[in-house]
Amino acid sequence: MPKIAKLTNFTMNTHIKKLELKTKKFFDIIDLTEKVEEFLKEINATEGLVNIFGRHTTTAIKINEKEDGFFQDIKKLIFEEIVNPSKTYQHNNLEVRAKNTMCEIEKECLNGHSHVAQMLLGASSETVPVQNGKMLLGKWQRILFFELDHSKTREIVFSFVGKCK
Amino acid sequence: MPKIAKLTNFTMNTHIKKLELKTKKFFDIIDLTEKVEEFLKEINATEGLVNIFGRHTTTAIKINEKEDGFFQDIKKLIFEEIVNPSKTYQHNNLEVRAKNTMCEIEKECLNGHSHVAQMLLGASSETVPVQNGKMLLGKWQRILFFELDHSKTREIVFSFVGKCK
Amino acid sequence: MPKIAKLTNFTMNTHIKKLELKTKKFFDIIDLTEKVEEFLKEINATEGLVNIFGRHTTTAIKINEKEDGFFQDIKKLIFEEIVNPSKTYQHNNLEVRAKNTMCEIEKECLNGHSHVAQMLLGASSETVPVQNGKMLLGKWQRILFFELDHSKTREIVFSFVGKCK
């Protein structure tokens, strides 16, 4: 016997919002936390999952503390010790590179260190639980966007799947 | 012409459960797999996605094998070779640190290595497909919680979005 | 007063598809982007989240550029500089290893470097927003499956949660 969807004071739904932002420099870090909170209010979200996705191969979305000393530590580790831009990257060898992977402006392509850093620093998105319309972030957690390349216009996508009022 | 939701033997829904756990030491590793399975039973989940989220900036949720030798290997790599706690971390320079980032107990703040390790080891959550009420984990996959700081009380959130009976 | 689900031209739903693939060598990289796009068409997905999950502890699902030079760079960094297979791994010390973690073929177990690389390279899945039936990937983003062990048969799971026509 089929079950009829319960009558309740919410509707299961999805919502998507695109956002553009301009980073100012190499390793610029932008706190997206409040923008995600605004999005959840706009769509009357109550409970579910929100995903914060960066549409780029040389940026990272990560959740951690917004603290300048820590930002210096991670920059030093990644871009001085592990993936120093002065090292040789095959990605930057434009003579052998497939044409369809070339950038319109040639020097835009010389970012081997940025791609490798993206691989080490994490996934292209974070997914966060939402309850009573708010993300269940811990006390120190902020949703951070890391620019691993030089200053650029970047696109972020917020997606919610769950219950809305 | 609008389409009416199909009558079926399930309801699309979301469920959230918070969990507290106490880690016993630096680099304590806790297997959460059975606790996630219990959660899926409690809510009568059938098909969808379950997200396991840690509410902390110095812990990591990762899926890998539960094997002691491997745990030693990753600890050695991260905390001896790459992010040795004996190195200098700007995060630990309390003289220049913004007041609103200070901990109640001062020495709690001296965890620069833990923050950087969190950035390397991965995202704050894992998201796993669920079918017939069970996670579609492979033979060796376990959902592991990594304490990257010292012994602490920690909070985890399990969230399910999908079909329930 | 309970609210009745809106009558609209879509249904909230979940869909799951399992896929098998055979990797050909250590560090084989397989582009899954088109296979995910086909899945979204098959299920008439319109808007929501799609998760691409690898059921293995020595593989990684990552979104980045499909470019051979970059693939060489990341292989060199991970498997020459950071997790060289010639280093000593406790995971490979079969004399002290718990019986229930042993492989059927002994040498299958000697992959300490692969497990550690999986921990560094990222999560077991990526989650991507879907709008108008298509993933909102950026220009250079491809969904890549990385084999971090030797040639093997591997299983991937695609899961969609959201609106379908």
Distance (Å, whole) CA B155 – CA A135? 14
One DSSP character per residue, A90-125 reads GGG-TTSS-GGG--SSGGGG--HHHHHHHHHH--SE
Strand order of the β-sheet with C134-135 is: C11-22, C153-164, C45-54, C125-131, C134-135
* Cβ pair A136:B127 closer than 8 A: no
| Tens of pLDDT, residues C34-73 | 999 999 999 999 999 999 999 999 999 999 999 999 999 9
B:C CB pairs within 8 Å: 125
Cβ contacts of A97 on chain C, cutoff 8 Å? 67-69
* Cβ pair C124:B121 closer than 8 A: no
| Tens of pLDDT, residues C134-154 | 999 999 999 999 999 999 999
Count of beta carbons in the 10 Å neighbourhood of residue A81: 11
This prediction has a pTM of: 0.93
Cβ contacts of A10 on chain C, cutoff 8 Å? 3
| Apex C95 CA angle, C93 and C97, nearest 5 | 70
* Of C83, C92, C161, Cβ closest to residue B48: C161
Contact of A78 with C77, CB cutoff 8 Å: no
Query: Which tokens belong to A135?
Result: 């993300």
Q: What is the 3-state secondary structure (H, E, C) of B83-143?
A: CCCCCCCHHHCCCCCCHHHCCCCHHHHCCHHHHHHHHHHCCCEEEEEEECCEECCCCCCEE
Q: A1, A33, A61, A70: which to substitute to probe chain B, counting the most B Cβ within 10 Å?
A: A70
Is B78 a residue whose pLDDT tops 50? yes
Cβ contacts of B121 on chain C, cutoff 8 Å? 119-120
Give the pLDDT confidence score for residue C4 in this predicted structure.
Answer: 45
How many angstroms separate the CA of residue B120 from the nearest CA in chain A?
5
| Tens of pLDDT, residues C64-78 | 999 999 999 999 999
Percentage, residues of chain A above pLDDT 70? 95
Q: Which chains touch C (3+ CB pairs under 8 A)?
A: A, B
- Grade residue C86 by pLDDT with cuts at 50, 70 and 90: very high
Cβ contacts of C77 on chain A, cutoff 8 Å? 82-83, 116
The whole-number average pLDDT for the span A130-159 is 97
Is B86 a residue whose pLDDT tops 60? yes
Q: A162: nearest CA in chain C?
A: C162
Cβ contacts of C55 on chain B, cutoff 8 Å? 136-138, 141
Give the pLDDT confidence score for residue A8 in this predicted structure.
Answer: 63
Is A107 a residue whose pLDDT tops 90? no
Cβ contacts of C97 on chain B, cutoff 8 Å? 67-69
| Tens of pLDDT, residues B96-128 | 888 888 877 777 788 999 999 999 997 799 999
Query: Which tokens belong to B162?
Result: 């999908």
Task: Round the CA-based radius of gyration of chain A to a whole number and report it.
Answer: 19
Q: Which range, of A132-136, A144-148, C7-11, C33-37, averages the lowest pLDDT?
A: C7-11
- Average pLDDT of chain A, as a whole number: 91
Contacts of C26 (CB under 8 A, 6+ apart): C147, C148, C149, C150, C151
| Tens of pLDDT, residues C1-29 | 344 445 567 889 999 999 999 999 999 99
The whole-number average pLDDT for the span B30-49 is 98
Residue type (1 letter), A80 = E
Per CB distance under 8 Å, which residues of A are interface residues toward C? 5, 7-14, 16, 18, 49, 51, 53-57, 82-83, 89-93, 96-98, 101, 112, 115-116, 118-120, 122-125, 127, 155, 157, 159, 161
* Of B63, B65, B163, Cβ closest to residue C101: B65
Q: Which of B11, B13, B54 is nearest to B35 (CA)?
A: B54
Is C157 a residue whose pLDDT tops 80? yes
Distance (Å, whole) CA A114 – CA A137? 28
* Cβ pair A124:C121 closer than 8 A: no
Contact of B40 with B32, CB cutoff 8 Å: no
Q: What is the largest CA-CA distance in chain C?
A: 67
| Tens of pLDDT, residues A1-55 | 344 445 567 889 999 999 999 999 999 999 999 999 999 999 999 999 999 999 9
Give the pLDDT confidence score for residue C101 in this predicted structure.
Answer: 83
The whole-number average pLDDT for the span A124-144 is 97
